[in-house]
Amino acid sequence: MKVGFVFECQDQGPDELLYTQVAKDMCNSFEISQENISPLGNKHAVINDSALDVQTMFDNGCEYVFIIWDRMPKWKLGTGKCADDRETLTEKLQGAGIDMSKVIMCCIDEMLESWLIADGRGVTTYFQSLNHKSPKFDDHKNKAEQTAPKQRLEAYNGRYNEYKDNLGILHGLNKDYSRAAKWNDSFGEFVNAVQQICQ
């Protein structure tokens, strides 16, 4: 089954690398090719200018297209609310004649790293593989504990680089995303969507 993805990151950015990896880990039947991945570079472009990319993916034979963006930081003209982003995006896509039943919108609260730190096993395993003295990284089970996740990772390790470290942290979860999905509702919505359409 061909599926497409629209992201707010740059080409080969953390969002692209992690969400496509999670999707493939959870659904062997997903066919994800570079021509059906659109990293648009910023949230404004995702919300306002993604319709052509989405239609192109459907024309390429995609059965579903995921559109994924972080709630924070909010974009210049945005409210920082997922519901408002979804409403604007829906209007743009419907205006372009997109079949919304095949579009899966995922607004991640507060950002990718929020669910990445929810299950502390990934952070612990990855950084201990680099430095055996790294202490255990605690689980972050609620929204308050998942705020400012990049700063939390930097405080834990002394340094943090989303381009270098995120994929390693993901691999540290060993393809078990159940706790992250349980403790971060928005990531849970993405996981549930993948499970529902996987054939």
pLDDT at 199: 77
Query: Tens digit of pLDDT for each residue in 162-176?
Result: 999 999 999 999 999
Confidence of residue 133 (pLDDT cuts 50, 70, 90): confident
pLDDT-derived band at 79 (thresholds 50, 70, 90) equals confident
Query: How many helical (H) and strand (E) elements, i.e. helices and strands, does the chain have?
Result: 10, 4
Average pLDDT score over the chain: 96
Q: Does the structure show a pLDDT above 80 at 116? A: yes
Q: Return the H-helix or E-strand segment holding 68.
A: strand 64-70
Sheet order of strands, 64-70 included: 37-39, 3-7, 64-70, 103-108
Residue 197: exposed, middle, or buried by beta-carbon count in 10 A (0-12, 13-18, 19+)? middle
Domain map of the chain by residue range? 3-109+184-197, 114-172
| DSSP labels, 143-180 | TGGGSSHHHHHHHHHS---HHHHHHHHHHHTTT--HHH
Enter the pTM of the model.
0.96
Give 64's DSSP letter: E
* Contacts for 47 with CB less than 8 Å, ≥ 6 apart: 69, 75, 78, 85, 88, 89, 92
Determine the CATH number of domain 3-109+184-197. Answer: 3.40.50
**Could you read off the pLDDT of 8-34 as tens digits, one per residue?**
999 999 999 999 999 999 999 999 999
Q: Which tokens sit at 21?
A: 């990896």
CA distance 5 to 28: 16
Q: Is residue 43 a contact partner of residue 104, using CB atoms and an 8 Å limit? A: no
